[in-house]
Amino acid sequence: MSHWQETERPHEWLRSLDERADAYTELVRESGNLALAAYRFARAKRRVFDGGDGIPTLRELRAAATMIANRLPEGALESSRALVADEEQGLCMSERPSRP
């Protein structure tokens, strides 16, 4: 996956995730864990819909993690435990809620 497209053209990057059957599995593998994959997804989504700083809230991060986990093959990971463990490492998240 193109990191340039992810940051410079997030709308196209998000669309490309939905177009490929294995894209979410590849996103998690490339990211190294579910938490970072969710952060990347939520950051891109925030850039598309909010136009702000691109730093997702904890709520957005959890929603992204759940959505990604639901698109992974059965038993690929235990999403809640992986996310909680990675949140404790201190990923940067915004305290400002997204706009409706």
Q: Which is higher by pLDDT, 56 or 87? A: 56
Contact yes or no for 65/38 (Cβ under 8 A): yes
Tell me the one-letter amino acid at 12. E
Residue 86 has pLDDT above 90, yes or no: no
Q: E strands within the chain?
A: none
For residues 60 and 19, the answer to whether their CB atoms sit within 8 Å is no
Closest CA to 3 of 34, 43, 57, 61: 43
Q: Name the residue type at position 17.
A: L
Q: What angle do CA 97, 99, 100 make, to 5 degrees?
A: 115
> What is the residue extent of each domain of the chain?
3-87
Q: What is the pLDDT of residues 2-43, one digit of tens each?
A: 678 888 899 999 999 999 989 999 999 999 889 999 999 999
